[in-house]
Structure 1
Amino acid sequence: MRVHFTAIGGSAMHNLALALHFKGDTVTGSDDTIFDPSKSRLKAQGLLPETYGWFPEKINTSLDAVILGMHAKEDNPELLKAKELGLKIYSYPEFLYEQSKDKTRVVIGGSHGKTTITSMILHVMHYHDKEVDYMVGAQLEGFDVMVKLTNENDFILLEGDEYLSSPIDRRPKFHLYKPNIALLSGIAWDHVNVFPTYKNYVEQFSIFLNQITNGGAIIYNEEDPEVKNVVENSESLIKKYPYQTPNYAVEDSVTLLETPEGPMPIEIFGKHNLNNLEGARWICQLMGIDADDFYEAIATFKGASKRLEKLAESNTAVAFKDFAHSPSKVKATSNAVKNQYPERKLVACLELHTYSSLTPAFLKEYKGALDAADTAIVFYSPHAVEIKRLAPITKEQIAEAFQRDDLLIYTDPTAFKDFLFSQQLDTTSLLLMSSGNYGGLDFEEVKKLL
């Protein structure tokens, strides 16, 4: 195939471009700016555009497909040219479905845990030399790319994001995959810029269930009341398999998972991750991996990139970086670190960085999210609020939302860094939660604090 990517530099887009290149297809692309790691990875394969910008002359009738990224706008000149020529224009998820419609599609959905569960399944498959196609949202140890497409593999494993498909396709991505097997991990309101009400957001998961093929299966976390309600009220002709968090214990900061062969030490920790693990076990079972083989493999799983990623550790302290930003993720991650190191002081820092987290009406969802922390800090940038064209947020609004009298709030990156670097971190767990970088914090410097 000859495929052109309009907005090739995105995290998902450049990985799909690489996957098609490795598959033997001819790939071209454009973007108005590209940052690392996308830039260096595209350059290494000769796929980096020579010049930044949009070039309608790259669009011609020799192309089999144009794939449109979310970064492009509706008036993008390449998109307009493709429409004029009558070319087939795909969103990212549409194209993935097109490439996998003759495979068994396994889709992992939910407001949280998607990347971790998908990563766990891939780790198990890789451990046992089981080849599957996939798309996952984080870089994994032992995997060169985040997307793999072949003509041979029977299964494709897809992380099912509920965000929009493209500028001209406003459907959530996970509505387009039509799974044979699906998993639903949890439902907690997110993406308020797209789904302005909780009811509207939950409705997307009901639609997701309706997309499962007749006779297919849904694996679902029955500990989440909303998930349980959505799945058990679904009238789709599908099999329903509930799962719960397995039994486990924490001894000397090591998590021991209860298995049929007895307690087994594992690398990951936290109730939410053990719950994710059980969902992954069910999916692996439906993909042909028995329980013994699953446990053998999962013992060596260290976690997905940016998910409770250990920055540094000493005899008396540990520092983690985590992608958590939504209220449910912040609460689960904070609780996990406190439970894993109960004798240590927990210093938890949260950056409000996403559109949802910076929306005044959404802030109240954070009530109690940092309660597990001994010292709780929130950082946000008024400039980021301005760029996103949101209503200004005051420190008083944040304090009211989190319901903690001792909450520390910073808006200046230098002041936040000075505070952080003034802390005595002996007998401390430091947790940095953000999808950003606190206005330019160097995490390599943070490692030297321990």
Structure 2
Amino acid sequence: MRDFLPAEKARRERVLAVIRERYRAHGFDEIETPVMEEYARLHAGIGGDNEKLAFNVLSRGLDAEAIRAAAEDPAVLTDLGLRYDLTVPLARFYASHRGELPGVFRSIQIAPVWRAERPQKGRYRQFVQCDIDIIGDASARAEAELMAATLDTLDALGLEGGVVRVNDRRVLDWMLGSFGFTETERPRVLITIDKLDKIGPDGVVGELTARGATPSAVEAFGTFLRRPATSEAVAFGATQILRAVPDGIPDDIVAHLVGIGEAVAAARAVSEIPVVFDPFLVRGMGYYTGTIFELAHPSVEYSLGGGGRYDGMIGRFLGTDVPAVGFSIGFERIVDLLEDAPDAGARSIVLVHDPAVPVAELLAAKAALVAGGARVRLEQRPKNMKALLERAAADGYTGFAAVRTGMSPDELEIKALA
């Protein structure tokens, strides 16, 4: 969890302003949910490994004896927890307010979340997520809208050339079934597949063997993995998708994926589809039920965001299944890439004055500049003027002016900060 000095905070807010503006331009509306949710909701078995990283909140009113008695039962010891993502809160929000929302609801959530991570570059215990979700639309249009809005946002941030890697949990489940993995062992097989890019086909086969997976299924899967280019993402067309998976995949799944790619290309007005099919993209969240995707950019090896369809989650709270799909931009990773992003033409001025200048004259000069759209800071003239101006420039100010007694606002001479 980090502090942010003024210049860093301003840079983060500029990036967030671009993200918000682009999301709203695509018809999404921003909501806000509490930072805490009920313990049982956060630990319902749908958050994957993130549930293990949740910060739990001790139940109120417990004395030392009660804490000792409840130490073996977290559900008694704690009744709330800090949210570890924004999807679980959104599902609860929609179940609570469905009657007040449109039939197809497009939401924006931009807020901090908390995970008990081992901190490292790009991975923190408190970080901001920027989510857009569509609830109530089961068609491929929803995925295509999310991808188009996200790629447009990336462009607006100056990161053109982004690509969305796409797979479908139904593809993975069908594929593992075709190799002979039982339903009960498939979740653990997916955990191993998620490491394919790090440990390679031999590593995957070795780990599955060590875990005691069905030997014949492991052998068949290993043979498939060692095919030339099997683990590489492919262009987003029906022919390419069919070549990347075993024979016999259901036609409706392929048609769904192809439809997404074509719709995104149309939305982006490009001939080359900015979407690729990755048959071994897994994503670890337990609530995904269909399409899953990650945002890639040629400037970095890691993903800049991700999401997927989670049609079964809202039904846990509402009692009726509602289709839902979301995409989250990795704000902390993106803001690190935009470290030198300039303030978008903002006019910001430091007014340097001697102690003798009347306060009324200072505030009149400041008010005139503020009324003209400038950001203004008052600074008393120090002995070391150079240090003051260097600090002002580091804080994002673009100009300065000296204020003397009796000077009118029109007489200010604004000079650029180097």
TM-score, with structure 1 as normaliser: 0.23
* Structure with larger Rg: 2
Higher helix share: 2
